[in-house]
């Protein structure tokens, strides 16, 4: 019994580390960006990893070999899809037009098995509340909906008004849970004394009172203080 437990622990740890290595080699991709092919590969790798952990009827080496093969195939096909547009269409398919000039394309709706209610919901998520305002709506290969509203329904941009907009760049995290992030201070071109001075301007004397601090634009510090209580009252900031 003891040998079985020890063996299971060793196999589980080995499978976990091996799966991490494979994930690193195969490259990262957000779940929301996964295509159907990526999903199938992920499920297969997960199943094979589970077999290595708990299946005692077959040697672990067979599952590990299968893991290596499926990973190699995934990497190889991924490389080929970059080089070949035809293969990319087969593996990842291509976007499907669901709305064109305010009119729903019924054939494509049936092919994607999407109802009108689902389409309208996804369009509302893109701030398109009227079908008449939509020029194109496309179902992307990852299942998300991209919406292009008609030109006269789009918001006015600064370039259209001949206003020069200045990019503020990415916000740099400099304080997290009361702790200074030293490397980000250097990247932002500031030091502890500068942070201390900016906090005092906002009547904050203790760094531990700051839950989050970020620098953006021309050295502007945005602060989010820690809550005095462990939790806020229900509905205080949300929709009741």
77 within some domain: yes
Which CATH number does the domain housing residue 113 bear? Answer: 3.30.240.20
**Are 42 and 10 within one domain?**
yes
**Are 4 and 45 within one domain?**
yes
The closest alpha carbon to 37, from 9, 78, 83, belongs to: 78
The residue with greater pLDDT, 64 or 191, is 191
In the structure encoding, which two tokens stand for residue 224, read together?
Answer: 């989010």
The pLDDT tens digits for 167-209 are 667 788 999 988 999 988 988 889 999 999 999 999 999 999 9
160 within some domain: no
211 within some domain: yes
61 within some domain: yes
What residues make up the domain containing 42?
1-89
**Confidence at 97, pLDDT banded by 50, 70, 90:** very high
**Are 119 and 82 within one domain?**
no
The pLDDT tens digits for 121-156 are 999 999 888 888 899 999 988 788 999 998 888 777
The residue with greater pLDDT, 31 or 18, is 18
Strand ranges of the sheet holding 145-149, from the earlier edge strand across to the other edge: 103-104, 96-100, 134-139, 145-149
| pTM given for the model | 0.53
**Are 105 and 78 within one domain?**
no
The number of folded domains in the chain is 3
233 within some domain: no
Judged on CB neighbours under 10 Å (0-12, 13-18, 19+), 14 is middle
pLDDT at 92: 67
């Amino acid at each position: 019994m003891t040998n079985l437990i020890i063996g299971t622990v060793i196999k589980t740890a080995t499978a976990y580390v091996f799966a991490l290595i494979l994930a690193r080699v195969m490259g990262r991709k957000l779940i929301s960006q996964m295509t159907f092919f990526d999903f199938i590969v992920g499920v297969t790798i997960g199943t094979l990893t589970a077999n290595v952990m708990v299946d005692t009827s077959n040697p672990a080496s067979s599952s590990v070999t299968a893991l290596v093969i499926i990973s190699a195939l995934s990497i190889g096909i991924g490389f080929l899809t970059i080089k070949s547009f035809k293969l990319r269409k087969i593996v990842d398919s291509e976007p499907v037009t669901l709305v064109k000039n305010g009119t729903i394309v019924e054939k494509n709706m049936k092919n994607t098995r999407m109802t009108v209610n689902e389409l309208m919901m996804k369009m509302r998520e893109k701030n398109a509340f009227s079908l008449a305002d939509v020029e194109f709506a496309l179902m992307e290969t990852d299942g998300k909906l991209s919406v292009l509203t008609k030109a006269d329904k789009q918001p006015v941009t600064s370039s259209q008004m001949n206003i020069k907009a200045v990019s503020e760049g990415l916000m740099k995290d400099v304080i997290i849970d009361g702790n200074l992030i030293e490397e980000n201070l250097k990247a932002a071109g500031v030091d502890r004394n500068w942070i201390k001075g900016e906090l005092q301007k906002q009547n904050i004397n203790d760094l531990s009172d700051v839950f989050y601090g970020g620098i953006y634009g021309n050295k502007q510090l945005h602060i989010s203080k820690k809550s005095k209580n462990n939790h806020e009252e229900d509905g205080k900031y949300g929709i009741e």
